[in-house]
Structure 1
Amino acid sequence: MSDATMIRSALFVDFDNIYLNFNNQDQDLAKAFATRPERWLRWLVESKPNVVVGGAVERRILIRRCYLNPSSFADFRPYFTKSAFEVIDCPPLTSRGKTSTDVHMVMDILETLHHYPSIDEFIILSGDADFTPVLIKLRKHDRRTSVLAAGYASPAYKASGDHVFDLDEFITAGIGFVELETEQQPLGSPATEANSPSIVQRIGARVHEVVQESGPVQAADLPRIFREFKEFGRDTNWLGFGTLRRLAVELVHASPKLVLIDDDPWKIGCAAPEVESAGAEPAETAEPGLDADTKQRMEEFIIETVRSSSVPVVLAKMAYLLGMKFGSRVSESQWYGSGSFKALLAHLNLPGVEISTLSSGFLFDRTIHEAPEEKMDSLQVKIHNITDTPLLPPEHYQILFRCLANEVNANGYSLNRTSKAVRDCCAEEGAAVARSHVNFVLLGLGHMRYRFQQGQEEAPLLAQKFYENVLNLCRSSQIFLSDEETASVRAWITGKP
């Protein structure tokens, strides 16, 4: 890299690919992407490049190119030229509307590689797997790559990039597409005793005990704790707060020691105490980054914790324990500049400790624990590993589709609002379904050209359409299924043999 404090980037936008994928999910989202390039461009500039742990760098996007079909999207050109993009016209070349966008982009990327040696990073906004070879080429030339895929992108494509932008963060923080969520009034009239501060505080105290003992509690596990109290029941409508999420917010407000952790899935945990690592400077004066001593102590702590546990350690619990041991600096520094706990783990030396591929995430040692994946159906694990299909148990898939049908029938469909509502509905029914799981299903249905219709959705049809999408993913990933395996996948996704 030419400058330790700056990363020079080139941005290539496959407009048709991103726009059409967004449009399949939400027309307003697609329009926001196409008419607000200056906003998400600013977000890209201000986003901390994922270069080194704790590296304080600035991103400058020196080359900006947008490739679009002028026959269909000419109206959006002025928005990009206003944001200093070079707009390259890629008109249809065949009767089926096929454009030359991918060829133009590949040639321009390779030209930039050879004629602009100062460019450190190539940013590609496209989910087209055809760009996989060029990403591999860039890596051979020691150039960093960052990619964004609006729809389904093959694991090989994502693995070829050094960094994959979080789609949800790009939509909300980048594009600024945030829907206002109206707080509905609680349904029904709960008893005064059930809605009084005393029961909320007592439940909060109990949740705090569980968190101290076992780490953060996922949303899906909260109802189990609530049922320990006689005041809580199905007829109390979440103690009068209407939803599990709103009740959780009230618990946090009533219990200062608790915090709502908006991970995926969300959970309740304890606020980390303001402690400092031995021999370290105070958090407000310490230099950013992970120093060698802290890194070694963190590695030793993780290895010791995993090996002393009789079962694989959930990632969320390990993250919580690290926060308790190393203090508030962990969260304040965004995991020492890496952005997430998983990203930090990739920079640590943890001999013998593995991370499971299950979406919920575990740390384990094969000499002590059985790998979490080995307890799952091998075909399901294989499909999950290769296509990213959520590794949910069949009963959780059924809950997801039922919640999705009910939500769309009641409130219509909108990507952000629907995914949040379905996630919370699944949690209320005790299913640990993350928002990323819901988004994967929604994107899969969009890929099948499925159109939601308020008041007409049925869970079995949604399950069938997503099952067909999973089969398509298997075929495109060269997973060839026998008739018996196909029936097994159908039972997994739809619950029907």
Structure 2
Amino acid sequence: MPEISTIRAALFVDFDNIFLNFHNQDQDLAKAFATRPERWLKWLVESKLPLPGNGVDRRILIRRCYLNPSSFGDFRPYFTKAAFEVIDCPPLTSRGKTSTDVHMVMDILETLHHYPSIDEFIVLSGDADFTPVLIKLRKHDRRTSVLAVGYASPAYKASADHVFDLDDFISTGIGFVEIEAAQDVPAADVKTQTSLIDRMASRVLEVVSESGPVQAADLPKIFREFKEFGRDTNWLGFGTLRRLSQELVNCREGLVLLDEDPWKIGLQGPPVADVTVIEQPVGSSEVTPDNRQRIEEFIVETVRSSPVPVVLAKMAHLLGMRFGSGLTESQWFGSGSFKSLLGQLNLPGIEMSSLLPGFLYDPSVHPAPEEKMDSLQVKIHNITDTPLLPTEHYQILFRCLANEVNANGYSLSRTSKAVRDCCAEEGATVARSHVNFVLLGLGHVRYRFQQGQVEAATLSQKFYENVLNLCRSSQISLSDEDTASVKEWITGNQ
């Protein structure tokens, strides 16, 4: 089969769906999306395709935007300027229901049958009504990519070959990045802390070298090994855990702050002494049977020789050190993620646990990682994507969210980052995707943040209501006892 060099794509934008979901979270974000289509269109074109091979380009040959001219006609010129065909979908009912879905489905099917050269269909909408058409496109061997803003059913996302990362779309695509206010640390204070920071950095380097990347939530445990450090130190004058961690990274060669979800401190540069680097590292696009086999053998040997299940993040880190940066630069051989690559490898006897933070283990060597959640919570998570967090972490999340909004107001990008870091400071492993899920869920039950008036108890109650709505829409039948269990899980109250 000849190597693919160009993907020909057709783009269909459900403007009302994307704009309104953004608007519910941040008015400026919605406006940026509506007035900068040429910017995020360029991002779509330049986004790395999760396909094997080098030099695969995306050409968007068909660009169509569907909007309600009564409400959003002012944004038409921006899309016209970006060479979109703008299709008017005026309201047809007194409740404002438009024909966008019908128009989009008809145009997608028409494109499928009349433009056989189109390889990929890109749909910007979180509406689950498009699930059947995505399945039909797959039957016709067409690639599908979607961007879902707000809650999108797992079935909708599973029907697509690729789901664009929402944070990446917002920050890189739209270019909506809120600059975090810098906090100056008095020079005298920094100077007096130099010795302590140096010792803390050395200790972090030691832990990372032995056990792999350390998540943000686990860093305070390391810091508290030093008697000079305490909760009342204001993170040694740096204000936040992240700023202090960045200072540790800056003063110790070999450490790097990994801006993942959640963020971590890991190693950079030369690997640790007990890991041998292969002389011929895996290239950025090589997917040969030989290097695939070497990776498989390395994973199996590492897991079986480990006394405990291996955390996925640690395994990814070890692979990067052993085989070179080509793995991550190629987005794991075009798989898009390390988890996706694992699903394609032959790893005899090795099991993967989806329990956070994710593990690889050999059942003949290791006991299966313990399930810390009851079966109902796991079921709800698997079907609705509700974060599988323990109750105490939910309580920390809601408390951090209330404090952040009351102190600084609400803005989707800034708030989600601040709450994630606040949870880490309190020892809760909460990813930014978890925070975003909660924020979007609160929007779906029409909760509106008002600075100075946000209470954690109210947030937990509203999000609990959203979880019940997700269960109903996903046809999860809950008894009275189940409902009480869900309430206790989310709010901590029966």
TM category, shorter = over 0.9
Seen in structure 2, the aligned counterparts of structure 1 residues 336 and 51 have a Cα distance that, compared at 3 Å, is: closer
Tell me the residue number matched to 1:347: 344
Task: Indicate yes or no: 2:377 matched with 1:380.
Answer: yes
Tell me the residue number matched to 1:167: 166
Q: Could you tell me which amino acid in structure 1 is paired with residue 483 of structure 2? A: T
Q: Deviations over 1:431-466 (max 9, x none)?
A: 010111101101111111111000010000000000
Tell me the residue number matched to 1:42: 42
Of 467, 472, 482, which aligns to 1:470?
A: 467
Tell me the residue number matched to 2:87: 88
Which deviates more, 434-443 or 371-380? 371-380
Seen in structure 2, the aligned counterparts of structure 1 residues 85 and 357 have a Cα distance that, compared at 3 Å, is: same
Could you tell me whether the CA contact under 8 Å between 2:284 and 2:329 is conserved in 1?
Answer: no
Tell me the residue number matched to 2:410: 413
Seen in structure 2, the aligned counterparts of structure 1 residues 180 and 193 have a Cα distance that, compared at 3 Å, is: closer
Tell me the residue number matched to 1:224: 221
Task: Indicate yes or no: 2:120 matched with 1:121.
Answer: yes
SS in 1 for 2:468: helix
CA distance in 2, matches of 1:270, 1:209: 10
CA distance in 2, matches of 1:246, 1:40: 30
Q: Could you tell me which amino acid in structure 1 is paired with residue 4 of structure 2? A: A
Tell me the residue number matched to 1:358: 355
CA shift for structure 1 position 237: 1.2
Could you tell me whether the CA contact under 8 Å between 2:50 and 2:331 is conserved in 1?
Answer: no
CA distance in 2, matches of 1:195, 1:430: 27
Could you tell me whether the CA contact under 8 Å between 1:355 and 1:361 is conserved in 2?
Answer: yes
SS in 2 for 1:461: helix
Seen in structure 2, the aligned counterparts of structure 1 residues 194 and 356 have a Cα distance that, compared at 3 Å, is: farther
Task: Indicate yes or no: 2:26 matched with 1:26.
Answer: yes
SS in 2 for 1:431: coil
Q: Could you tell me which amino acid in structure 1 is paired with residue 39 of structure 2? A: R
Q: Could you tell me which amino acid in structure 2 is paired with residue 150 of structure 1? A: V
SS in 2 for 1:62: strand
Tell me the residue number matched to 1:399: 396
CA distance in 1, matches of 2:284, 2:179: 38
Paired residues, what number?
491
Which deviates more, 152-161 or 341-350? 341-350
Which deviates more, 395-404 or 192-201? 192-201
CA distance in 1, matches of 2:187, 2:398: 29
CA shift for structure 1 position 354: 3.3
RMSD over aligned Cα, in angstroms? 2.0
The sequence identity of aligned pairs, in percent, is 77
Could you tell me whether the CA contact under 8 Å between 1:35 and 1:79 is conserved in 2?
Answer: yes
SS in 2 for 1:169: helix
Could you tell me whether the CA contact under 8 Å between 2:10 and 2:121 is conserved in 1?
Answer: yes
Task: Indicate yes or no: 2:445 matched with 1:448.
Answer: yes
Tell me the residue number matched to 1:13: 13
Could you tell me whether the CA contact under 8 Å between 1:185 and 1:242 is conserved in 2?
Answer: no
Tell me the residue number matched to 1:207: 204
CA distance in 1, matches of 2:254, 2:106: 56
CA distance in 1, matches of 2:170, 2:2: 31
Could you tell me whether the CA contact under 8 Å between 1:265 and 1:432 is conserved in 2?
Answer: yes
Could you tell me whether the CA contact under 8 Å between 2:49 and 2:334 is conserved in 1?
Answer: no
Tell me the residue number matched to 2:280: 280
Question: Following TM superposition, where does structure 1 have runs of at least 4 consecutive aligned residues deviating by more than 6 angstroms?
Answer: none
Seen in structure 2, the aligned counterparts of structure 1 residues 148 and 372 have a Cα distance that, compared at 3 Å, is: farther
CA shift for structure 1 position 145: 0.2
Seen in structure 2, the aligned counterparts of structure 1 residues 330 and 457 have a Cα distance that, compared at 3 Å, is: same
CA distance in 1, matches of 2:346, 2:136: 28
Seen in structure 2, the aligned counterparts of structure 1 residues 371 and 148 have a Cα distance that, compared at 3 Å, is: farther
CA distance in 1, matches of 2:14, 2:47: 20
SS in 2 for 1:358: coil
CA shift for structure 1 position 374: 3.3
SS in 2 for 1:64: strand
Tell me the residue number matched to 1:183: 182
Seen in structure 2, the aligned counterparts of structure 1 residues 103 and 22 have a Cα distance that, compared at 3 Å, is: same
Tell me the residue number matched to 1:496: 493
Of 312, 315, 320, which aligns to 1:315?
A: 312
CA distance in 2, matches of 1:196, 1:12: 55
Could you tell me whether the CA contact under 8 Å between 2:277 and 2:321 is conserved in 1?
Answer: no
Tell me the residue number matched to 1:438: 435
CA distance in 1, matches of 2:432, 2:192: 29
Q: TM-score, normalised by structure 2?
A: 0.95
Q: Deviations over 1:404-447 (max 9, x none)?
A: 00000000000010000000000000001011110110111111
CA distance in 1, matches of 2:138, 2:367: 35
Tell me the residue number matched to 2:236: 239
CA shift for structure 1 position 276: 8.6
CA shift for structure 1 position 95: 1.1
CA shift for structure 1 position 368: 4.1
SS in 2 for 1:23: helix
Seen in structure 2, the aligned counterparts of structure 1 residues 93 and 179 have a Cα distance that, compared at 3 Å, is: same
* Long gaps (5+) in structure 1: none
Tell me the residue number matched to 2:63: 64
Q: Deviations over 1:246-282 (max 9, x none)?
A: 000000001011110011000001114279954526x
CA shift for structure 1 position 305: 1.9
Seen in structure 2, the aligned counterparts of structure 1 residues 194 and 398 have a Cα distance that, compared at 3 Å, is: farther
CA distance in 2, matches of 1:24, 1:42: 25
Could you tell me whether the CA contact under 8 Å between 2:395 and 2:492 is conserved in 1?
Answer: yes
Could you tell me whether the CA contact under 8 Å between 1:9 and 1:123 is conserved in 2?
Answer: yes
Could you tell me whether the CA contact under 8 Å between 1:193 and 1:199 is conserved in 2?
Answer: no
Q: Deviations over 1:298-344 (max 9, x none)?
A: 11111222233343221111111112221333344443444432233
CA shift for structure 1 position 42: 0.2
Which deviates more, 427-436 or 348-357? 348-357
Seen in structure 2, the aligned counterparts of structure 1 residues 254 and 149 have a Cα distance that, compared at 3 Å, is: same
Q: TM-score, normalised by structure 1?
A: 0.94
Seen in structure 2, the aligned counterparts of structure 1 residues 332 and 147 have a Cα distance that, compared at 3 Å, is: closer
SS in 1 for 2:11: strand
Which deviates more, 132-141 or 347-356? 347-356
